[in-house]
Structure 1
Amino acid sequence: MKKEFVVIGLGRFGGSICRALAEQGMEVMAIDVDEDRVNEFASIASHAVVADTTDESVLKSLGIRNFDHVIVAIGDDIQSSILTTLILKEIGVQRITAKAQNDYHEKVLRKIGADQVVHPERDMGKRIANNMISNNVLDYLELSDEHSIVEIVANELLAGNSIIDLDIRARYGINIVAIKRGREVIVSPQAEEPIQKDDLLIVIGADSDISRFEKKVMNG
């Protein structure tokens, strides 16, 4: 069954979510107070509505509580973001993801019942910083405050060793969940799988363990 989403706030973040969901064939209602933004998404979303989501009667009239997931992507107006999230919770929306401007904003959103809080700017900053700091880490995805998935390029020090030779899980507490080799992707590689130079290792683990692995094994 198709999931039904509502995206409230059609700035850069909300707009990109709306486009991505629509491309996946999902039902999406796009809402913003700005008529020009709503018009921009009229041909992308299933429904595009000009509405003030801090008004409970408006949200009720739109039947928001019948949707599977509501994303509150309101930009700079923290008060509207908090009020909208509070009303959504009160009217019984199943799942709410909200965008936070800062840590204080996140605390309030979590307190009033947001199921997930995202910091797109901060998280993207972390991602870029991780890419800049390390020559080996190609991409970085934060799973929680302390755990991540990273793509690491295998160098000469790793090449020729199998996963069991390196004993990565026991020594570093991390797991290689997949290896990208050219166009081939080896998911859940066997312990005997030899690593080749320039393989992309998809590694999951605690940030501190990944960092230790990088320092010891990748940099010699």
Structure 2
Amino acid sequence: MSTQQYAVIGLGRFGTTVAEKLYEAGQEVLGIDIEEGKVDDALPYVTHAIVADSTDEKALTSVGIRNFETVIVSIGDDMQSSILTVLILKELGVKKVIAKALSKRHGKVLKKVGADTIIYPERDMGERLANLLLSPNTLNYIELSKEFNIEEIMIPSSMVGKSLRQIDLRAIYNISVIAVVRNKEIIITPSPDEVFLEGDILVMIGRAADLTKFSQL
């Protein structure tokens, strides 16, 4: 992965987590918050961290914010500040602005003022937990769209010892195996003659409804 420059505005739990993961992946990360304590706490997890008011256009200009490929706005409970920050960032020419929304209405306003991507952390985590509770064999998933997911599903005991060809998941369940996780190793695009072992985790792609049916076997 090539190194890119990210700025994270708002260093609460969510913003700090995003910054830390990007930094761990070898990316350049600038952390910005109006509270000095939060900036100090984030220092070990970012390339640079500064105290600044993101609703002050001059402050953002002085840190060279327009040079960052992506800016994540993760301001906590202050909707007005998050909206104004997004507006200023787009006016300054930032190409990609990702903004955290506290509600559907907040998200709509953020979109109208120019945010490229809106995220709803609490809603998304709630949906993820509900899905995992309803499908106990599903270990993790990525929502590709409203209909399609990529999911990690523990191999059903009835399929242990059988090959991908024998099970014929595509024909019977309308889903495809794109990888198998076995003892911390990953088998990418397994062959039709790959025999499944107990404890295998299948990385599968398909319609969410079809994957749910399979995970409940």
State the TM-score, normalizing by the size of structure 1.
0.90
1:103 CA drift (Å): 1.7
1:131 corresponds in structure 2 to: 132
Identity %: 47
2:6 corresponds in structure 1 to: 5
1:134 CA drift (Å): 2.1
Match of 1:42, SS state, is: helix
Amino acid at match of 1:188: T
Q: State the alpha-carbon separation in 2 of the partners of residues 209 and 155 from structure 1.
A: 15
1:110 corresponds in structure 2 to: 111
2:120 corresponds in structure 1 to: 119
Correspondence list, 1:63-82, <5 A: 63-82=64-83
Q: Identify the range of structure 1 (6-15 vs 106-115) with the bigger mean alpha-carbon deviation.
A: 106-115
2:149 corresponds in structure 1 to: 148
Deviation digits for residues 21-65 of structure 1, max 9, x if unmatched? 222222111101111111222343222111111122221222101
Cα 1:89–1:24, aligned 2, differ >3 Å: closer, same or farther?
same
Correspondence list, 1:1-220, <5 A: 1-215=2-216, 218=217
Match of 1:6, SS state, is: strand
Q: State the alpha-carbon separation in 2 of the partners of residues 6 and 156 from structure 1.
A: 46
Match of 2:195, SS state, is: coil
1:91 CA drift (Å): 1.1
Q: State the alpha-carbon separation in 2 of the partners of residues 2 and 155 from structure 1.
A: 40
State the TM-score, normalizing by the size of structure 2.
0.91
1:3 CA drift (Å): 0.7
1:149 CA drift (Å): 1.8
Amino acid at match of 1:151: E
1:214 CA drift (Å): 3.1
CA RMSD of aligned residues (A): 1.8
Match of 2:45, SS state, is: coil
1:115 CA drift (Å): 2.0
Cα 1:47–1:184, aligned 2, differ >3 Å: closer, same or farther?
closer
1:147 CA drift (Å): 2.3
Listed as ranges, the gaps of 5+ residues in structure 1 are none
Deviation digits for residues 127-156 of structure 1, max 9, x if unmatched? 222222223111222233332221111122
Q: State the alpha-carbon separation in 2 of the partners of residues 109 and 147 from structure 1.
A: 26
Q: State the alpha-carbon separation in 2 of the partners of residues 50 and 32 from structure 1.
A: 5
Q: State the alpha-carbon separation in 1 of the partners of residues 107 and 148 from structure 2.
A: 19
Amino acid at match of 1:27: E
Match of 1:176, SS state, is: strand
Amino acid at match of 2:82: S
Q: Identify the range of structure 1 (62-71 vs 116-125) with the bigger mean alpha-carbon deviation.
A: 116-125
1:66 CA drift (Å): 0.6
Q: Contact between 1:148 and 1:206, CA under 8 Å: does it hold in 2?
A: yes
